[in-house]
Amino acid sequence: MRIQKLLSFIIFLFISSNLFAQFPLGVGRKFDQTKETIVSYERPKEYIISKITVSGVKFLDPNTLVSVSGLNVNDKISIPGERISTAIRRLMEQGIIEDVAINITKIEVDKVELDIHLRERPRLNKFVFKGLRKGEIDAVSEKVKANKGKVITDALIKNIQLTIKRIYVEKGFLNTTVQIKQISDTIRANNAALIVNVDKKSKVKIDDIQLVGVNELPDWKVLSKLKSTKIKAPLRIFTPSKYIPKKFEEDKQKVVEYYNKQGYRDAQVTSDSAISTTGDNIRIVLNINEGTRFYYRNITWTGNYLRKTKDLETILAIKKGDIYNPEELNKKINGIPQGDVSSAYMDDGYLFFSCDPVEVAVDGDSIDIEMRIREGKQATINRIILNGNTKTSDHVVMRELLTRPGQKFSKTDLIETQQTLSRLGYFDPQKIEPKPIPQADGTVDIEYNVEEKPSDNIELSGGWGGLQGFVGTFGVVFNNFSAKNISNLKKWKPLPAGDGQRLALRLQASGRFYQTYSLSFTEPWLGGRKPNSFAVSIFHTSSDNRGYQRALEKQYGAAYASIYGGGGGIYSGYFKNTGGSITYGKRLNWPDRNFSFNASLSYQRYNVDNSYFIPGFQKGVANDLSMAFVVSRYSLDNPQFTRSGSQFTLNATFNPPYSLLRSSPVTDKFKWVEGHKWMFDGDWYAPVVGKLIFHAKANMGFLGKYSKSSDFSPFGRFILGGAGMGLQNSMNVGADLIGLRGYDEGIVHELSLEESEKLRTSDGSVTLSRMGGIIYSKYAAELRYPVSLNPQATIFVLGFAEAGNSWGSYKDFNPFKLRRTAGVGARIFMPAFGMIGLDLGKGFDPIPGLSNRGLKTFTFSIGQQIR
């Protein structure tokens, strides 16, 4: 029976093989044919391809597909054969095809026609995110949106998964999982959507960082260099604890760099590990090999023929026994503007100078350095190339350059030019890039790349103020104005710009009761050849409470107006001030190029009747004719966020000495104001560590008179307190408004005995808030840290401590009796509005007799730095 079954099975296989030899059929990715065609898999036959067609495609190019398959018309192939299998494999390897079949459509003798039939993979139409909040979906969509429209492949899905996971790994969610499911689009043919399921899980925080092998340096110092890898703590806000592998690798390098700076040149992180603790948190173990601490021994110089060794040693300022610090050494060779070794050569045209410090001996913990100098030849400037000034005219930029064709190359000039362009305010300081381009003939081209930023300011507000009627403010400052193009309407965008002139207009009104108008124009290069500036300004201020009194009477009756409107008292008068000035300025080359001098002539006319605006002058007409002289030095590297440099200003203002010219005293002593006024302002900036900046400043001033018989001028006094701007909108009496955060506006003042007597019979709070002193001093210190240096919104935070006071007489002046305050704040610079300041301060020396003791926690300023 078994033999019979075996014979029956063999006969069945024989019949089956003959049957399939007569009618072969390829399925799916196999070779196929029509039913009329007989192909034997056992006896392949050679054919010449006479035609190739492609079917089933909607988006792919048929000719490209044929080319990828490797099959060509007139090729000789065997059917069945390897060429067909290879063609199918090559098409599938592209990853954009889901299924392929190659069919015979026709055979004539030794010629064959083939059809490549395929089914394309669908294209990605949209994402559906699950497990994320709306804000997170927007952020993730932005990262993966470039994949829309692409053919969905395994590689595409994998890349999307990795991209999304990377987003959350960088935020500390190391265990994030991303699952993607493909669903067909029922509306669009051959399209599909991806359902993306994101499970962030918990953020991985660091419970502890254990340092192994740290013996020579304090642990806290080493841990402080792990800027982005911090142990979790309740009060950690700005750098929250999270473990990000990429940041951790960067932090390890920072640790090594710190050791190198301390003389441990062979220090290295030998290993590290992240050990799971409670929940998803980890503990990091960092193994450090500190190595030996090295010191400088002998420093020798070779190749220096133009500069004496002694002079170079003085510039380098490194002595035998100093801690070995390669970074500091390189900085003293090439990294300190106007104070490094390279400047000693490059400021004299030696652009091709180089200095290579080479370790020539290591003996124990001592290292000998040989400074190998190549002086090269002097280079002169050939061309100046300017790129990126799309709004500002070329001549405005070119006239500010200290590097001119034909001059010898100077590194210091290049750096100072970069700072000068930054001070203009027309370009993003972070994008100003001077680039020396050496030429084959020994000259150098200098290319300045700049990027324009908005530099104009606008102030616009309005509303209805009840009895006052319309209340509004309109102010514009065009810092890059062009007067010569006023007649060219094509240049109005919205006003002609590009010539570096400044036009400022401001209008403010509070119905009929208060108006102020001002207009100023500045030409920074009078005549266009020298940096001599010319400015002219006019203004008018009027505050008339008589109209307010009449409005109250009309609306509520005479009794009400008498009680709440002043009743003919100090609230029912008027104040008017009209004036103008012309100013001439000049840049100086001595003591250095950062100095400038200004002289101005100004006139103001005050018309006052029964007004409290100016203590000591409630009625009458006063004329103020004065000359002012200002000497200043400005070397700040960036006007928005200053990292280094200083600014000092000495201002002296003089009225004519009328009292010395008159033979007899006059009854109207303020008809022509006289006296002199002196002010000093100083600011100094320096980096502390990283991006942290220290800012120190001092301000002081005093009024003087020409004779003992005359009184101090009631105008131009020093009003201290608040943001130094709150009173500026309510009067214009030439007063200097000085901020002192932590106190109310204008109330920081030490009363003299005479002032105290006067206040006993008047409204003390009102008078004191506008008293002003004849002498003041103020000192402040800040620590600043940048949050964003984007030119559209420069943001930095700060902590401050300051102290100041003003006095009404010299005999009461005490430089040690100051009102102290401290706090924190933030600054936001936006081109359209200028500098916006927010401060929270606490005053430590309350002022007796005032509501809230004169203290004010919150201070707001706009359009200015607090002076």
Query: pLDDT by residue (tens digit) across 305-355?
Result: 999 999 999 999 999 999 999 999 999 998 877 789 999 999 999 999 999
* pLDDT at residue number 517: 92
| 631 lies in some domain | no
Domain of 725: which CATH number?
2.40.160.50
Residue 420 phi/psi, 5-degree rounding, is -65, -45
Which range (279-293, 331-345, 353-367) has the least confidence?
331-345
Which amino acid, residue 588?
L
**Structural domain includes residue 643:** no
- Residue 32 forms beta bridges with which residues? 103
Q: Is the pLDDT confidence value at 244 over 60?
A: yes
585 and 504, same structural domain?
Answer: yes
Q: Pick the last residue of a domain from 589, 611, 633.
A: 611
Kind of pairing between the strands at 354-363 and 366-374: antiparallel
Q: Give the count of beta carbons closer than 10 Å to the beta carbon of residue 365.
A: 12
Nearest to 786 by CA among 823, 822, 829: 829
Q: Is 656 or 19 the better-scoring residue by pLDDT?
A: 656
Residue 440: count of CB within 10 angstroms of its CB: 5
Neighbours of 661 (CB within 10 A): 9
- Is 47 a domain residue? yes
Same domain, 264 and 317: no
User: Residue 571 has what pLDDT?
Assistant: 53
Q: Does 339 share its domain with 430?
A: no
The amino acid present at 176, given as its one-letter code, is: T
Q: What is the mean pLDDT of residues 489-507?
A: 89
With contact defined as beta carbons under 8 Å apart, do 207 and 139 qualify? no
State how far the Cα of 40 lies from the Cα of 42, in Å rounded to an integer. Answer: 5
Determine the pLDDT at residue 9.
44
Average pLDDT score over residue span 828-848: 86
Residues 658 and 704 in one domain: yes
Tell me: the pLDDT tens digits for 139-171? 899 889 888 888 888 888 999 999 999 999 888
Specify whether 499 is located in the same domain as 351: no
Per-residue pLDDT tens over the stretch 745-787:
888 988 766 666 555 544 444 444 456 889 999 999 999 999 9
Span 438-457, average pLDDT: 91
Which CATH number characterizes residue 351's domain? Answer: 3.10.20
Termini Cα distance of the chain: 115
Nearest CA to 719 out of 734, 704, 707, 697 is that of 734
Output the CA torsion 245→251→252→257 (10° steps): 160
Domain boundary among 374, 401, 419: 374
Q: What is the pLDDT of residue 40?
A: 66
pTM of the model: 0.69
Question: Which of 267-281, 350-364, 437-451, 717-731 bottoms out in mean pLDDT, i.e. has the lowest?
Answer: 717-731
Taking residues 275-304, report their average pLDDT. 93
- Give the model's confidence band at 464: pLDDT under 50 very low, under 70 low, under 90 confident, else very high: low
pLDDT > 70: percent of the chain: 85
Residues 704 and 761 in one domain: yes
Domain harbouring 42, CATH code: 3.10.20.310
pLDDT band at 610 (very low <50, low <70, confident <90, very high): confident
* pLDDT at residue number 15: 35
Q: Is residue 294 part of a domain?
A: no
Residue 104 has pLDDT above 70, yes or no: yes
* pLDDT tier at 39, thresholds 50, 70, 90: low
Q: Are 289 and 211 in contact (CB under 8 A)?
A: no
- 512 shares its domain with 400: no
Residue 25 lies in a domain: yes
pLDDT at residue 14 greater than cutoff 60: no
User: Total structural domains in the chain?
Assistant: 7
Residue 783's alpha-carbon distances to 311, 666, 685, 690, 786, in angstroms, are 36, 53, 10, 12, 10
Q: Which of 434, 449, 464 is the last residue of a domain?
A: 449
Indicate if 350 and 394 belong to the same structural domain.
Answer: no
Residue 7 has pLDDT above 60, yes or no: no
Q: Judge whether 638 lies within some domain.
A: no
Q: Which residues contact 289 (CB under 8 A, 6 or more apart)?
A: 213, 266, 267, 268, 269, 270
Q: Are residues 720 and 753 in the same domain?
A: yes
Report CA-CA distances (Å) from 521 to 460, 507, 733: 20, 15, 21
Predicted confidence (pLDDT) per residue in 412-442, tens digit: 999 999 989 998 989 988 899 999 999 999 9
Per mean pLDDT, which range of 222-236, 279-293, 683-697 is the poorest? 222-236
Residues 6+ apart with CB under 8 A from 764: 849
Distance in angstroms (rounded) separating the CA atoms of residues 371 and 147: 55
Both 181 and 273 in a single domain? no
Q: What is the pLDDT of residue 2?
A: 47
* CA separation for the pair 456, 832 (Å, rounded): 6
Residues 237 and 268 in one domain: yes
pLDDT value at position 666? 64
Residue at 534 is within a domain: yes
Percent of the chain residues topping a pLDDT of 90: 47
Q: Do 725 and 756 belong to one domain?
A: yes
Q: What is the pLDDT of residues 718-734, one digit of tens each?
A: 989 888 765 444 444 66
Q: Judge contact between 333 and 301, C-beta under 8 A.
A: no
Residue 630 is assigned to a structural domain of this protein: no
Q: Which residue has the higher pLDDT, 387 or 187?
A: 387
CB 700 within 8 A of CB 679: yes
Mean pLDDT of 394-401: 95
Burial of 61 (0-12, 13-18, 19+ CB in 10 A): exposed
Rounded mean pLDDT of the chain? 84
pLDDT of residue 617: 80
Residue listed under structure tokens 């201290």: 720
pLDDT digits (tens, 9 = 90+) for 510-552: 776 778 899 999 999 998 889 999 999 999 988 877 666 666 6
pLDDT tier for residue 602 given thresholds of 50, 70 and 90? very high
Residue 52 structural domain:
21-120
**DSSP state for residue 69 in the 8-state scheme:** H
Model pLDDT, residue 178 = 93
